[in-house]
Each structure stands twice: as structure tokens, then as C-alpha cells.
Amino acid sequence: MNDAGLRERKKAATRAALSEAAMRLAEEHGVEHVTAEAIADAAGVSPRTFHNYFANKEEAILAATWDFVRDVVAALRARPAGESALEALRHIADDLTATSGASVERIAARMRLMETSPALSSRNDVLREEVGRMVVDAVAERSGTDPDRDLYPRLLVASLHAALNAAMDVWRAGKTGRDLTDLLTEAFDQLDAGLREPPR
């Protein structure tokens, strides 16, 4: 591996360590009691290093969730061209829940934290707008639609977001005995039954 590749891996590892430390401290002490200095100390770096990666603690806590979404966008662009956007996203969701169950559960944990922290929820709204446009653009590319003229890419992404939230809510309630993967499969089934990609 060349020096540039090694540096990028080290940067990614530091970012992940800071995000994990932020999440752990927020769960243990509450978001309002966590500081950037405490996160940096828990990750074994300086506060200056923390601020090289994140603007604030909320961004650090949420980083893994939105990195996860960026990974979904990259995976969507890499799927076979013949698949519809919904079909491609379904394959990605299946792969992610099969290999990254812990990541999905951490997203659920962050959702719980947002219910107790207006600052975290507010920062999540900003990130959702920024990253959400990436997902809409990727769906538009795959479906041959224009995200600023056609409803389909925004409607699919909004519907998928609502379906995933519904699956998460039912899973978190814990009254069905079903695991999250099963609920996500049903969510995609219901979307697939009614939201067809428009003709090109």
C-alpha cells in the first residue's frame, strides 16, 4: 500500500474511533453531558484532532449513520444497470442487514438518543438534507429521471425513509417477536407492491 493509501486508512480509523467514542459516551452519560474534549480523550487523540474531523459532538455522534447512508449511495451506483432503483436498494438492504446488523442497531440507538436531545435532532435534520440529496440524485440516475422535474426519485426516497422508520419503530416496540431483517423485508415488499418505476 502506498503512503497516500495508508494515510487515508489512518484518517478513516481515527474518524471511526471518534464517532464510536462519542456514541458510547452519549449512551452512558446523555448527549448534553458529553464534550468534545471527553470524546477526544476517550479516543486517545487531542481536542484539536477532534475538530479536524467534526464541527461538534452532535456531528460525531451521527457520523456513522450518515457514513452508512453514503455507503448505500456508493453501492446503489455500483449495482447492475438493469435493476430498478427499488430493486437495487432492496439488494443493498439485504446485504447490509446480513453483514452489518450491528450497524443497523447502532442507527436505532442514535434514533433513541435523538428523542432526548433537540440539538442532536436538529443536526440530524441538516445532515439528512445534505445526504438525502445524494440518495435522490443516485435514484434519479438509475431511473432516468430528473430530481428537479420528476416526482419519482424524491417520492421513492421519501417512501423508503418512511418504510424504514416504520420497520424500526415496530422492531423497537418489541411486541412482534420479529427481527429487524424480517420487518425490513416486509417494508420493501409493501413498497414494491405499489411504487413502480415510471417508463423511460
The CATH homologous superfamily of the domain defined by 57-194:
Tetracycline Repressor, domain 2 (1.10.357.10)
Q: Is the pLDDT of residue 76 over 70?
A: yes
Phi and psi dihedrals of 46, rounded to 5?
A: -85, 155
How many Å from the N-terminal Cα to the C-terminal Cα in the chain? 44
Q: What is this structure's pTM?
A: 0.75
pLDDT given at position 29: 93
pLDDT one-digit tens code per residue, 121-143: 888 888 888 888 999 999 999 99
Minimal CA–CA distance to 34: which of 116, 126, 106, 108? Answer: 116
SS3 content of the chain, % helix, strand, coil (to 5): 80, 0, 20
Domain ranges of the chain: 1-54, 57-194
Please count the other Cβ atoms lying within 10 Å of the Cβ belonging to residue 122: 11
Hey, what CATH topology would domain 1-54 get? Arc Repressor Mutant, subunit A (1.10.10)
